[in-house]
Amino acid sequence: MGWVRVRSPPVLQSKLLCLSLLYLLTTLPLALYVSFSDPDRRCPLLPFPSRASPASAKPLFQYPPGYGEHKHALPAPRLLCSNPVVFADYKTVLEEISGLCRNLSVSPSTPPVLRYQRGRRKSFAGNLSAEERRSFFSHTDNRVEIPCGFFKEFPLREVDRLAMENCRGVVVASAILNDYDKIRQPKGLGSETLKTACFFMFIDDATHRVLARHGILTEDAHGGVGTVGAWRVARLRTGGLPYENPAMNGVVAKHLLHRLFLNARFSVWVDAKMQLTVDPLLLVHSLLVDKGVDMAVSKHPFNLHTMEEAIATARWRKWGDVEAIRVQMESYCENGLQPWSPSKLPYPSDVPDTAIIIRRHGLASDLFSCLLFNELEVFNPRDQLAFAYVRDHMIPKVSMNMFEVEVFEHIAVEYRHNLKRDGVGRGKQGDTRMASSRDITGSSCEKYLLKMWGEHTE
């Protein structure tokens, strides 16, 4: 009985050749797509600072290997954008922003003092009846002092307060509370940006303990923590924080930057889950100054109407008390909240993505931020739910650049929050409980929902 030996063809015996063919078959479709797709529909690579003012190639901070500041990045699948941003030359931007900061006088809406009154437990809006709130929204004018709801002491060291008062141009701010995120360094900074803009990161004791354990922060003799790369770290004393919920404490820094930085002219708020990849001066210039608006914020990637965001908030348990969200939405509907329609233009959406907020400190944007904060203190820190209600009712109107989601994904990288066991990091919201099932007939949001669904007959 004979044996037959079967041998593979010589061409398949070369491992290098096989790997080369596999690589070719994998990359060829992508190369063809890039070559033949419409270049006008693709978002071009956003320019970084000009060659005349290159960003330093040296990393701003060297993190220990175990910290993992670049773990769990979220993908940005949108490859197309209809309205790409074009940045001006870095030197031109630097000179123009510096000139604006020198020439602007103190905002007429800025409260005269940084120290907050103690002892007031409710927001301004929370102490008003529905009729009084409607009257306030309808008759606010330049003569009315902005009634920011935050009247508590923010637990800052005096050395940090002094540094904040000396910030007279652009402030870039973020906050990490309850070790919910990681400190990430901004990328693409021009050579003069760190000298022109102030970078402040607010942290609490829980975050400080983790950073100290990794050797990232060391205290000085006065309890200060200095800087981490671009960020000046301002430690908030946990015992002096005004709210039990860490998210609400973060809202103070997020929406009341004009109260914390009295002499700043522009601000860029960056959620700690985000890492900027474009110089903040370029963002202020292109998205705010060139557009001639009071503030710039991205549109939400999925939701157009406030009620859609409320439903998503309940569905994905972004806030624990679903019944309270229903009460909040019915209160807004009763006081005139309408779904988005073309009549609301130039506002292209009712739901923003507030992970990045760019503001010109002035009457309109300061008023909007204060009124929005009042709503968050009354209900919950989910600022997307109160956004359209405040924006549509306030007078004077706030001019706003709600830019495309694709632009948002090209100016920053988003990361997941730190994973927490036992729900640590979400504050004391309690277990999620579903709202009682009920027919919308008789609800103050009945007309809103029918109009949003296209079934309203009036």
Task: List, for residues 13-24, the tens digit of each pLDDT value.
Answer: 566 677 777 777
Annotate 414-436 with three-state secondary structure. EECCCCCHHHCCCCCCCCCECCC
Q: Please, which residues have CB within 8 angstroms of residue 119's CB and are 6 or more apart in sequence? A: 151
d(CA 429, CA 406): 33
How far is residue 85's CA from residue 73's CA, in Å, rounded to a whole number? 23
CB atoms within 10 A of CB 268: 25
- For residue 38, name the pLDDT band (cuts at 50, 70, 90): very low
Q: Which amino acid is at 35?
A: S
Structure tokens at 427: 């504050």
pLDDT digits over 417-449, tens only? Answer: 886 654 443 444 455 555 554 556 668 888 898
Could you tell me what percent of the chain has a pLDDT over 90?
A: 47
The predicted pLDDT at position 439 comes to 56
* Cis amide bond preceding 44, omega within 30: no
Q: What letter does residue 181 receive in the DSSP assignment?
A: S
Q: Which helix (H) or strand (E) holds 11?
A: none
Strands 231-235 and 197-203: parallel
Q: Are 126 and 380 in contact (CB under 8 A)?
A: no
Q: Which of the four pLDDT bands, split at 50, 70 and 90, describes residue 110?
A: very low
Fold classification of 90-304+348-415 is Spore Coat Polysaccharide Biosynthesis Protein SpsA; Chain A (3.90.550)
How many residues appear in the chain? Answer: 458
3-state SS assignment for residue 335: coil
**Comparison of pLDDT for 225 and 331, the residue scoring more:** 331
CA atoms of 373 and 354, how far apart (whole Å): 13
Mean pLDDT of the chain: 78
pLDDT band at 75 (very low <50, low <70, confident <90, very high): confident
* Segment 125-150 mean pLDDT: 44
State the Cα–Cα distance between residues 170 and 104, nearest whole angstrom: 12
CB 434 within 8 A of CB 324: no
Instruction: Give the sign of the dihedral formed by CA 383, CA 388, CA 389, CA 395.
Output: positive
SS (H, E, C) 184-235: CCCCCCCCCHHHHEEEEEEECHHHHHHHHHCCCCCCCCCCCCCEECCEEEEE
| 59-68, 111-120, 183-192, range with greatest mean pLDDT | 183-192
Residue 220 confidence (pLDDT): 60
Residue 84: both structure tokens together: 């790409």
Structure tokens at 133: 């709130």
Tokens for 101, please give them. 């900061």
Return the axis-axis angle of helices 383-393 and 363-378, rounded to nearest 10°. Answer: 130
Burial per residue of 139-151, b for 16 or more beta-carbon CB atoms within 10 angstroms, e otherwise: ebeeeeebbbbbb
Tokens 């927490």 appear where? 420
| Separation of CA 62 from chain center | 25
pTM of the predicted model, to two decimals? 0.79
* Per-residue pLDDT, 68: 82
Q: Is the model's pLDDT at 309 over the cut of 50? A: yes
Can you tell me the distance from the alpha carbon of 437 to that of 421, in angstroms, rounded to the nearest whole number?
Answer: 31
**Range of lowest pLDDT (131-135, 275-279, 435-439):** 131-135
Of residues 129 and 274, more confidence is placed in 274
